[in-house]
Amino acid sequence: MHNKIRELRARYDLTQEELARKVNVRRETIVFLEKNKYNPSLKLAHDISRVFNLNIEEIFIFEDPEY
């Protein structure tokens, strides 16, 4: 899964720390999300989508696994 968090933070002029505070997680969680090393819970994905006023699908790109 990929995401657009880094791009959206830049557009909204938010630091990783500020976004982390808004969604009640540690800054490191945002770092791991941006590096695609962590898949968020549904609640965290929802909270992030509310910060940016977008649908979850507009932020997180789910890819089908290759068979």
DSSP annotation string for 18-51 = HHHHHHTS-HHHHHHHHTT--PPPHHHHHHHHHH
Host domain of residue 13: 2-57
pLDDT for 8 beyond 60: yes
Residue 9 domain flag: yes
Q: 17-51: per-residue pLDDT in tens?
A: 999 999 999 999 999 999 999 999 999 999 999 99
Three-state DSSP class for 57?
Answer: helix
pLDDT at position 63 is: 77
Residue 17 domain flag: yes
Three-state DSSP class for 66?
Answer: coil
Residue 64 domain flag: no
Residue 36 domain flag: yes
pLDDT for 67 beyond 80: no
CATH of the domain at 24: 1.10.260.40
Residue 38 domain flag: yes
User: What total of structural domains would you count in the chain?
Assistant: 1
This prediction has a pTM of 0.89
